[in-house]
Amino acid sequence: MPASIDLAVIGGTGLYRLADLQDVEPHQPVTRYGALSGPVRVGTLDGRRVAFLARHGEGHSVPPHRINYRANLAALQALGATRVLALNTVGGITERFAPRVLACPDQLIDYTWGRVSTFSEGDADDGRGGEVLHVDFGDPYTPALRAEVLRAARAAGVDLVDGGCYGATQGPRLETRAEIARMRRDGCDLVGMTGMPEAGLARELGLDYACLAIVANWAAGAGPQVDEVITFQNVLDNVAAASSGIPALLRRLLAG
């Protein structure tokens, strides 16, 4: 049996390592689903075992629609993870979710297409005995883990918006103003490119899964300057600011 991991963290755009992780060892488990985005770096944080995986690769070389979400999650599970905290860099659509806000969404709408979105392949050689999984996905983020994350943020003094609907788009291009207007009408507060199928696959594996959404920019037409041009440097600066409290939050989360 693999040694237990207290928490697995998946990092998004601008988040390619956990600086405070100690005694780090790289792992790259072989899964039947192909290559991971990169090595899983397992180390300790305040004496707890933590795994970190850069979703886009450590050099940001894997676009959102080409990420091997199945391999990434299967590898984390194989290493002993049962809880996954996803860090997702997103755009803000509604007023509460301005750039540099950190949020813990509770709902999700999937606008992606063409991605492999299930471990159920419909044949007896799929590693699950041909089982078709109709998982309950009414609450796409594990309520108990979300509650723990929110408590940890309060204890650490980290501002964290509770709730919000994440709209997952295909990427890698950003969205049009009309697309964002539609998403607002649909009830989305945040827009990102990697929320699905990752959350659904985690549910199929029985992993507890929650999201910290790091607002890097206003989505197209959503901010006070409708003609604002988004640059990658702006995104990185806002991600750094919004994620500054994450190390303290993680420490409180691991402390229980």
Express each pLDDT in 185-228 by its tens digit.
999 999 999 999 999 999 999 999 999 999 999 999 998 876 67
DSSP state of 192: E
pLDDT, mean over the chain: 92
Residues of 42-80 as b/e, b for ≥16 C-beta within 10 angstroms? bbebeebbbbbbbbbbeeeebebeebbbbbbbbbbbebb
Hey, what domains does the chain have and what are their CATH numbers?
7-255 (3.40.50.1580)
Predicted confidence at residue 17, as pLDDT, reads 86
Cα–Cα dist 238/92, whole Å: 12
Measured CA to CA in angstroms, residue 186 lies from 72, 103, 114, 189, 235 at distances of: 30, 19, 21, 9, 25
Instruction: Compute how many other C-beta atoms are within 10 angstroms of the C-beta atom of residue 132.
Output: 10
Q: What is the pLDDT of residues 40-75, one digit of tens each?
A: 999 999 999 999 999 998 988 999 999 999 999 999
Computed over its alpha carbons, how large is the radius of gyration of the chain? 17
Q: Is the peptide bond before 99 cis (omega within 30 degrees of 0)?
A: no
- Give the residue-averaged pLDDT of 169-198: 97
Predicted confidence at residue 130, as pLDDT, reads 62
Measured CA to CA in angstroms, residue 129 lies from 33, 120, 126 at distances of: 15, 9, 6
